[in-house]
Amino acid sequence: MDQELVRLAINLGLPLLLLVLGYFTGTAFEHTHYRSIRLRERRWRRMPTLSFPRPLPQWQVQDTAMVTGSVVISLDYFKRFLAGLRGLVGGRVKSYESLLDRARREAILRMKESAHTAGFHAVVNLRLETSRLASSGRKGKGTAGVEILAFGTALKIADPARP
Amino acid sequence: MSPVSFDPRLPPENNVSPTHPLAELAALLGGILLAAVLLTAGATLALDWLVPHLPASLEQRVFSGLWPAPEAGAGSQQRDPEQATAEALMLRLASHWPDNPYRLHLAVVENDEVNAFAVPGGLVLVTRGLLKRVTSENELAFVLGHELGHFHGRDQLRTLGRGLVVGLTLQALAGTAASGLPALATRMTELRFARAQEEEADRFGLALVEAEYGHVDGATAFFRRLAETRDQDPTGPGNAWLSTHPLGSARIQALEAQAREQGWPETGSLTPIAWRSASARH
């Protein structure tokens, strides 16, 4: 009976512990991350970042380069569990929405920061790419993470005030 | 600082559903568990209705192919005397079951634990440990009669069907939500008959014992002894039967009450075990 109890504790207790742990760590990380995202989005708000493929007509482009920003995200146990349950009944996989939202915004921010560091003023033709990283477990069917890549053409623009 | 003037609004944050994750967890888990319970309950009802309509001959055809092959050398000469005696006893008991649709067989499992099982298709499995520990034929007769009672109630098919449904449901759950829950639940449903089924099998077994010997003495003695040894040695081999056949004093009392109601003598002469007396003569 003792062995049964131990087995029960391992079978039931361990996943439960991981769920609770996943929930609290996941929530804490998400909270911190969103704070940082919102702060930096306000900071970089005035840097033009357009999906439009050409510079605006009034811009005098001096230099161009491709800039990228990439983020790899993974799931926590709790989100994975929720999505697993969701997979049984269908519907919006809400637990992944915030994860991907964070990743997209973070990737764009990294791209903008990289453009700024390299001395560029704007980015046009912004594109987003997603790719799944296969995990080695579950015969390669599992997902180790998702990469979000933001890329675009960075522009150096001449200052009309200083010809 | 920037050579371009650009003053956009920040985009609205509308890409994340506002549902709290814990609320979603509760809704999903509750809904899925409810569905699983309803499905299992529905399947149990359906099986209870369906199983009596399935002819035993069909059951026998389907399942006898799955039985373990008789062990090599189990020919008529080297035939295990304990197995032969127990099987003969079982067939004698079954002769008091007038419309028995099964062709019955008995096999011995080489295991020191005390247990017996009714396998779909008419096979009764008895452990060597049980055969070693019975002290009279009457005790063994009741165990065998009890297992025949499971055939009478078609309990193995119902339990098998229910186990299948539960297993499939859990498999579906486990396929997506990895957790230890399925393993636990399968253990709980593992070849365990419902209490009502056990009691019905007891009644049937006791009736067979009475029909065979003209009294029911010795029928419950074996269980009493098992219960006593369990109290002394909770991990001993006698525990296996008790873990799959929950035995309260209520069950023994029910048997005694049945005997009183039917006016069956509760004392009588016990028949010794045939293979014991045979080996004693050597």
Instruction: Render pLDDT for B206-247 as a digit per residue (tens, 0 to 9).
Output: 999 999 998 888 888 887 777 777 666 666 665 666 666 656
Strand ranges (E), B32-147 = 105-109, 116-119, 123-127
- State residue A72's pLDDT score: 94
Residues of A in contact with B28 (CB under 8 A): 82, 85-86, 89
Q: Phi and psi for A125 in degrees, rounded to 5?
A: 55, 45
**Confidence category of residue A43, pLDDT binned at 50, 70, 90:** very high
Give the mean pLDDT of B252-281: 79
The answer to whether residues B238 and B226 touch, using CB atoms and an 8 Å cutoff, is yes
Contacts of A27 in chain B (CB under 8 A): 21
Residue range B126-144, pLDDT digits in tens = 988 888 888 888 889 999 9
Quick check: B234 and A158 CB within 8 A? no
Alpha helices in A44-156 (DSSP H): 77-89, 94-117
Mutation for A interface: B1, B6, B168, B239, most A CBs within 10 A:
B6
Please check the confidence at residue B271 and state whether its pLDDT lies above 80.
yes
- Per-residue model confidence (pLDDT) at position A103: 94
| pTM for the model | 0.62
User: Does the interface predicted TM-score (ipTM) exceed 0.85?
Assistant: no
Q: What is the three-class DSSP state of A12? A: helix
Residue B95: CB atoms within 10 Å: 12
Residue A37: per-residue pLDDT: 96
Write down the pLDDT at residue B232: 66
- Residue B17 CA to residue A57 CA, distance in Å, equals 38
Picking from B13, B25, B180, the nearest residue to A82 by CB comes out as B25
Q: What is the dihedral of CA A83, A86, A87, A88, to 10 degrees?
A: 140
In this prediction, residue B270 has a pLDDT band, given cuts at 50, 70 and 90, of confident
User: In the prediction, which pLDDT does B192 show?
Assistant: 59
- Is domain A2-157 given the CATH code 3.30.110.70 in the classification? yes
Give the pLDDT score at B75.
46
Confidence of residue B121 (pLDDT cuts 50, 70, 90): confident
Interface residue B27 vs chain A (CB under 8 A): no
Per-residue pLDDT of B32-74, as tens digits, reads: 889 888 888 888 888 888 888 888 888 888 877 766 655 544 4
Q: Is B232 on the interface with A (CB under 8 A)?
A: no
Mean pLDDT of the B256-269 span: 87
Contacts 24+ apart (CB under 8 A), A75-80: A75/A99, A75/A143, A75/A145, A76/A22, A76/A23, A76/A25, A76/A26, A77/A18, A77/A19, A77/A21, A77/A22, A78/A19, A78/A22, A78/A23, A78/A26, A78/B21, A78/B25, A79/A22, A79/A26, A79/B21, A80/A22
| pLDDT tens digits, B145-203 | 999 999 998 888 887 777 777 777 777 666 544 444 545 444 444 455 677 788 888 89
Residue A24: pLDDT band with limits 50, 70, 90 = very high
Most confident of A62-66, B201-205, B276-280: A62-66
Domain boundaries, chain A: 2-157
pLDDT on residue B228: 74
Higher pLDDT, A36 or A83: A36
